[in-house]
Structures are given as C-alpha cells and as structure tokens.
Structure 1
Amino acid sequence: MKKSHIMKAVCAVGLSAACVWSLAACTSGDQASGDSGAVAATVGDVPISEDTVTKYIESIRSQMGVTDEDSWGNWLAQNGYTPESVREEVVNSYVQRELIKKGADERGITVDSTEVDGYVDQMKQNYDTDEKWQEALTQAGMTEDEYRSEIELQLKNRGLLESFASDEEPSEEDLLQYAQMYATTYDGAKRSSHILFDSGDEATAREVLDKLNAGELDFAEAAKEYSKDGSASDGGDVGWDKTSSFVEEYQTALDGLEKDQMSGLVTSTYGIHIIKCTDVFTAPEEVTSLDQIPSDWVDSIKSSLKSQKQNEAYQQWLEEYKESSDVVINPMPEGLPYAVDMSKYQTSDDAAAEDGSDEGSDASNESGENADAAADAADGAADGTDAGESTGESSDNAEDAGASADNAANGEGQPAEGAEGSSSLSE
C-alpha cells in the first residue's frame, strides 16, 4: 500500500511549505476554543480542541483540491488512509508540538529573539515590498506574529534535537560496511572543479581558457581570481558528481572528461563554465579498508551515522517523554465534515489484487493455474513497495521536527522558494 504522510502532503506552496507543522501553527492559537467545545486530546493540562484538528484537515483538503466527498474518499483510499488515521496523525502532530515546547523548556533550550528576527528578515528579502510579504502570509493563513512564533518553536526543536548529539565516533565495522555500499554505488564517480563567468562575459572566459590551455595559469588560482561561484575560495572544487546533482549542461560536459582533462566553454543557465575533471573513482573488487574510498566520503559516512544515532536517541526520548506526559487522545466523535464511508472507495491494494485476480483467472482458463496466485503476487508486490518506502521511517518524526528550522536558515520552502546555495551548479 502506498502511503503518503498527511502532514507532508500539505507542504505545497507558500508559507505552509515551511514544514509539516506550518498549517498547524496557523490554528494552534485556537486549541482551547471552537464551536463544538470538544477536546481531541490533552497533553497534561493543555487541551487540543477537536475544532482545531478539523480546521487543519479541512485546510489540507482545500490545498489538495479534494473538497468534495468522492475526491476526498478516493484520495484517502489510494494513499492508505481512513478519516480515523488522518485524525490520528494530525492529533499526534499537535501532541508532539506541545511535548517539544515542554521538553525544550525542561532541558533549558532557549531561542534569542534576534535569531528569530534574522530568519524572518531573511524571508522578507524574497519579496519586493512589505505588501507582497503580507499577501504571502495571508495566503498561508498566518500573521507575522504567528510566523515568528512558529520559527521560534522550530528553532527550539532544532536545539532539542542537537542536545542528543554524541561525540562517540562510529565503529570501524559500521564505517566499513557503509564504505562498501559507497564503493558499489559510486563506481565511476567524477570529481571536478570549475570557473564560472557571467553569461555576458564570454571574452574574459575565452581569454582565461586560452591561458589555461597554454599553461600560463593554474586552474585553482584562476578559479579564486575569476570565478563568480561560491566554490572559488576552494579553487573551484565542487566535489563528486554522484554525491551531488549538477545542472544538465555541466554534467554532460563532465561526462566527456577523463582525469585532469579540461572542457571548453560550457554555457548553462548560471553562466559560462570552464570545467576540470580532477579525479575519477574506480571501485575496487572488494573494499577491505577505508583508505580505498575518498576521504571526504568517509567523512560523509561518519556524519550520516552520527546523525542517524542522534535521531534515534531523539526519537526514543520523544516516545518515552510522551508516555510519561499524561497524554490522552479522545475517541473520534461522529459527524465530522471529513468523515466519509470508506466502503465506497477502492484502495490501491484492492485494485492491484483485482487486476491480479483477473490475470490469474485468464491464466487458469488456459493452463489450470489458480487465480489466487496472481492476486497473492500482486499483494506481495504492494507489500514490497511498502517495505521500501518505509525504510528509515522510525526517525521520520525526528527528521521532520528538525527540518523546518534548517529550511528557515537556508531560505528554503518559506514563502518564496528561497535563495540559491553557494554553488551555481546544483539543480
């Protein structure tokens, strides 16, 4: 069954794409209020109103364009949801917000208001006028104060996540295991440097290229002097292609280079490049030592393993903290606007099984095979998809919880698409 996290599904445009909680922030102020007075859950003495949860789910439906009963029912079925499971996920998100607020306070994690101001001001710079900024906030259903509060919560959560970092280094055995996977996956990877010129400065680019070809300039020094890219200070080094995502024109040119070869002038949407292939990785038949893969890959593996351990520790804390925090989730009441009769809608698994059954019946007519075998095979394939998609989901909450403050810092996902990174290559 293909299942899409509902809290991620709403991250479509504008401010609400900041993180899985952005829409929650828009309604978090009404947790104790609402027409019905019903309480969906309590975290200690903090109530989460049923109306808040309903408002959030209705916002999801509006964003995804599934406001009528049939389109909503079909979407739920195809994504492995029921109204009850949607409510459960949304309620759990609100619960997690309260636990993070409480946990951060208990662990002494604070956020300076000037840091929040910095992120908000950075976002504002994506808009020509304050009027456009306010329009973006309105479109997302937020006031600027609510946006600031959300950034503060996200930063507190990032601090909370960072508090579980460990100085313990990964074991040699774990590093070697991942190194073996790196070696197989990244066989043939190419490392490169480049010099980037403005698109209208072909004359300078041509002059530098001629001097490089004549041996009158060192490539790294030329990059430091002429390149308009953030990699200039590193002599133009942009790393390995299989661990990055370069624009098509750059990647195509690099594909045609061997180690120490240099391209001509390569034009992309970012300007004019001169590219040099500085290394090519050929995977050994057997990796028995970390020395057999590039040192920066080893550093990346170490970082990934430490982050994984940090996320696991955070997740364990969150689960234990929830158990000890007197969290009560009340049953789903009847008559909610997003509640539909799911017996009317076919799930993706049902469709797969039905198709498989039809194929099996045809085969049975011809060869006497049991039609159930085809249906079982279809179910098995669907289960296999689930297993692949759910890999690493145990740390999803921790990753989701920390992602939005990082996005704020990088200028990603909020209200505009954000500023580009330091390199002008990545797509």
Structure 2
Amino acid sequence: MKKLSFAKSIAVFGLAAVCTVGVAGCSEASTDGTGSTYTGGVAATVNGTEIQEDTITTAVENIRAQMGLTEEQAWGEWLAENDYTPESVRKEMIDGYVDQELVKQGSESLDIHADEAEVSQYVDSMRANYDSDEAWANALNSVGMTEEQYRENIALTLETQLLKEKVAEDAAEPTDEDLLTLAQTYKTSYDGSRKSSHILFDASDEATAKEVLAKIKSGELDFAAAAAEYSKDTGTSGDGGNVGWDSLNNLVTEYTTALKELGKDEVSDLVTSSYGIHIIKCTDVYEAPETLEKLSDLPEEFQEAVRSMSEAQNDSQAYYTWLEGQREAADIKVNDMPEGLPYYVDMANFPKDESKDESKDDGTGITAVDEDGNPVDIDPVASDSGDDAAQGESDGTAEAPVAEGVEEGAEGAEGEADEAAQQMENGAQGDGQQPAEGDAADGDAAGSGASQQPAEGATE
C-alpha cells in the first residue's frame, strides 16, 4: 500500500505556504515563537555545509500548524495513520534539505545563477497584491520568512529549473514503443472526449445570441462563419470557434456540462457562464479502442500530449539520475536526533488503526515509499518551473506569499511527469480548473493540451 509522504501531504492539504522541503528560507526563522531557539545544533552536513536542526524543526512545526496538528494527540494519530514516526519525519525532511543543498552546489559548479532582475520581478509582482508594506511583511512573517528569504526561494526555484534544463539536454528521446505504451496507459483518459467549438456573446447580448442560434439551427448560418463574425472570444473566433478537446482543456463547469449532452455535430442551446453566453457545437467524439495498434490511431492533439508527457518523464528521469549521482558522490553526515524536539511523541501511545488501511485508495497518485519508508518518487527540491512561480504571483490572491509564488517546493514533490499525467486525468474528468500557464513551460504543455490553446471564454 502507498502511504502519504510527509512532503506530499503538504501539497495534498494545500500547504504550499509553509517553509518546508525545497524551500530555501526558514533557516533563520528557527524559534519557538518567543525568540529562543528550539534545540540548536546541526542536523546534517552536506560537503561541509551545515543544515541546522532548528531549520528542520521549524519546517515540521510550520506544517503541523498549517495542518491543524499542533496538539500532541492529533499529531500522534496522524503519524500513526500515515505510517510515520517523529524519527522518519525528521529523516525525510533532512533528506529534502540535503537534496536542496546538492542542487545549490550543483548549480554553482555549473555556473547556473538566477537572473536577479527576474527574481525582483517575481517578488515585486507578489508584493503588489498587498495594500501596504506592513501587510506584505505580516504575510511573510506568518510563514516565518523575511523578504530576503523569499527572494532566496524564488532564486532557488529559477536555478533549479535552469539546472533541470541543463541536465535534460542529455535525456533520451522517447521511442515509438515508449509513446505507444504510454498512450495505451492513458487512453482511457481520452475515451469519450469531446472536441468542440463555441461562440461567445456578452452576457448583456442575449437577444443577438438567440438570433444567431436560431439561424445556425435552421441552417441559414454556418457555425464557423458565425464564430468569426460574432464571437467575443478572440482566441478562437478565427478558427471557427475551436476550443479543442475537453480532456486537454479544463473547461468551466457550465461549458463542460452542456458539452457532455451533445453528440457529434450537435449544437447546444444558450449556455451561460461567468464569461457570458455560449453557443457550443460538438465537433467530434473520441471512442478509445480496447487496444491501440499504433500511435496514429489517436487524434493528433492526443499524440502531441502523449509525446510531451513522455519527454517530461525522460527529462525528470535524467534529473533524478543526476541528483542520485550527486548524493552518492557527496560527503553527507546526518547527526542523531536530539532530545526535546517539540514534534516528538511516543508512538507507543498511538497504535495504528489497521482497519483504516482497507479503505485507502492505492491508485491516487500519492508518492510511494520503499520498504524502508523512504519516498521513491519524490523531488523534494524546488519547483518544476520558474514560470509556475510567475503564474502564481500574478494570480492576485493575497494570501501568504509562498502559497502562490513558491508552491513548487511542495507540489514539485510529485515530479513533472506525475504532474503532467495528473493534469491529463483531471482534464478528462472536467474538473473545471484552469491549468497553470507555467505547466507548459515544464513539460511542453504535457498535461494541458500541448499546442492546443484554451479558449478565453471557456476556461476558468
């Protein structure tokens, strides 16, 4: 059975705001809230560079606070339920910081450095979401960070992406066999997919929408011509209103619901969403065969998505191979766990409820662990993409700053290939969430439809 990894739990609970694995900051924010340190001391060294014990403790304590696990009883029960102990939590956190330090040192050796102007742009973009310098400082303080530490996070995010790109230069190109195998694995995600076009009207222009709809249904007006003449969606109007496949675009709920009711070449009635009024035409429906004989049996857009995902997997594997080589070559020393850590509990007081195992889903995409309890598919360093950080900071959601701008520290734990696959599955399910623009930068839009552009008035 797969268990919930500690780093993965951050992403699952939406806790990207905490200082944790893959986040450069927090090393100085290592107090118990009263100004004194927790235990002091050094948790580990990486080629002579120290990782402070209080850095690890602060990270764990921030996660506990964000997850509502500050009470000993709740914390102990969570550990037991997820096959953890305080010792294994500490080990996993240290492993993450070790890998982060290896990335820093590797970037330095390859003369890879973040562009300071780009870092400043990201920080300024996030700061602009706050009404005052005080509000910005409070948001940083709420996650135990200074602005300088936040800048370090952004820089590490960018440098990690540059490093991954450098390492990926030696990644193997996917073979036809690789592509066909991957397509076979994910073909069920495409089954029943609908390709569509739409015409978007302003919400106040219902009269025109009704008139155009009547002409289309009577055959007086061609749908593509109507899209070119009337649609307010400038991104699709020049292409007959083509939105593409719903499994490669996460469409707004109202659009998805209406589209599912249409067969090929059928046209909807008026559909209202937050973007206005839509007239939707289903232009194709894909029915997956039991077995794919060749990749070309898939529509071209699906072929592109599969190829992008396979390339992302190979790039990720190249990076993980590089990182493993760095681990093997490095002088890494991990010191014994000190007494008095605030997250320590006696696990003898928290026996695991084995009956809960039976109800856990083993296919959720949660990071697996090996027999020793170590993550086997985890990238605990920084983000998948600097572009992800930029996207997060432009969203305008004035939450704790790292919640948007550096969430890769948590979500990057899945790896680019897993993320691409999950996005593909989410798209097929029509979850109505807009894919982040940065995803395309990291895997050539592996999960968001490759070269397919989402419709402005159809995606959230």
Instruction: With the length of structure 2 as denominator, give the TM-score of the two structures.
Output: 0.75
The separation in 1 between residues aligned to 2:404 and 2:47, in whole angstroms, is 38
Alignment-derived partner of residue 308 in structure 1: 313
Pairing of 1:32-111 with structure 2 (within 5 A): 34=37, 36-111=39-114
Alignment-derived partner of residue 337 in structure 1: 342
Deviation at 1:77, TM superposition (A): 0.6
RMSD: 3.4
Alignment-derived partner of residue 273 in structure 1: 278
The separation in 2 between residues aligned to 1:289 and 1:187, in whole angstroms, is 16
Contact 1:202–1:272 (8 Å) recurs in 2: yes
The separation in 2 between residues aligned to 1:175 and 1:186, in whole angstroms, is 15
Deviation at 1:117, TM superposition (A): 2.2
The separation in 2 between residues aligned to 1:102 and 1:52, in whole angstroms, is 19
The separation in 1 between residues aligned to 2:130 and 2:144, in whole angstroms, is 17
Pairing of 1:216-255 with structure 2 (within 5 A): 216=221, 218-219=223-224, 222=227, 226-228=231-233, 230-232=235-237, 234-255=239-260
Contact 1:2–1:78 (8 Å) recurs in 2: no
CA shift in 2, pair 1:19/1:204, >3 Å: farther
What are the Cα deviations for residues 371-392 of structure 1, in whole angstroms up to 9, with x where unaligned? Answer: xxxxxxx6xx87x838974469
Q: Which secondary structure state, in structure 1, belongs to the residue aligned with residue 313 of structure 2?
A: helix
- The code of the aligned residue for 2:329 comes to S
Number of matched pairs? 396
Alignment-derived partner of residue 363 in structure 1: none
Contact 2:199–2:230 (8 Å) recurs in 1: no
Deviation at 1:333, TM superposition (A): 1.5
Contact 1:195–1:226 (8 Å) recurs in 2: yes
* 1:320 and 2:330 are equivalent in the alignment: no
Deviation at 1:257, TM superposition (A): 1.5
Instruction: With the length of structure 1 as denominator, give the TM-score of the two structures.
Output: 0.81
Contact 1:191–1:238 (8 Å) recurs in 2: yes
Give 5+ residue unaligned stretches, structure 1: 354-377
Using the TM superposition, name which of 260-269 and 309-318 deviates more.
260-269
- The code of the aligned residue for 2:139 comes to A
Contact 1:79–1:348 (8 Å) recurs in 2: no
- The code of the aligned residue for 2:308 comes to S
Q: Which secondary structure state, in structure 2, belongs to the residue aligned with residue 263 of structure 1?
A: coil
The separation in 1 between residues aligned to 2:196 and 2:364, in whole angstroms, is 36
What are the Cα deviations for residues 249-301 of structure 1, in whole angstroms up to 9, with x where unaligned? Answer: 21221112122222121012332211111111122354212221101111111
The separation in 2 between residues aligned to 1:65 and 1:168, in whole angstroms, is 44
Specify which structure has the higher proportion of helix: 1
The separation in 1 between residues aligned to 2:134 and 2:205, in whole angstroms, is 36
* 1:408 and 2:412 are equivalent in the alignment: no
What are the Cα deviations for residues 4-57 of structure 1, in whole angstroms up to 9, with x where unaligned? Answer: 2222434556871698534x52335769x9564411001112111112211221
Q: Which secondary structure state, in structure 2, belongs to the residue aligned with residue 385 of structure 1?
A: coil
What are the Cα deviations for residues 87-113 of structure 1, in whole angstroms up to 9, with x where unaligned? Answer: 011111211221111111112222211
Contact 1:220–1:236 (8 Å) recurs in 2: no
Contact 2:39–2:341 (8 Å) recurs in 1: no
Alignment-derived partner of residue 195 in structure 1: 199
The separation in 1 between residues aligned to 2:134 and 2:225, in whole angstroms, is 45
Give 5+ residue unaligned stretches, structure 2: 370-374, 406-433, 437-453
Deviation at 1:158, TM superposition (A): 0.9
Deviation at 1:124, TM superposition (A): 3.5
Alignment-derived partner of residue 177 in structure 1: 181
Q: Which secondary structure state, in structure 1, belongs to the residue aligned with residue 263 of structure 2?
A: coil
Pairing of 1:288-307 with structure 2 (within 5 A): 288-307=293-312
* 1:116 and 2:119 are equivalent in the alignment: yes
Contact 2:389–2:404 (8 Å) recurs in 1: no
Q: Which secondary structure state, in structure 2, belongs to the residue aligned with residue 118 of structure 1?
A: helix
Alignment-derived partner of residue 396 in structure 1: 378
Deviation at 1:332, TM superposition (A): 0.8
- The code of the aligned residue for 2:458 comes to L
Contact 1:119–1:408 (8 Å) recurs in 2: yes
- The code of the aligned residue for 2:44 comes to A
Deviation at 1:155, TM superposition (A): 0.6
Using the TM superposition, name which of 281-290 and 333-342 deviates more.
281-290
Contact 1:15–1:140 (8 Å) recurs in 2: no
Deviation at 1:130, TM superposition (A): 4.8
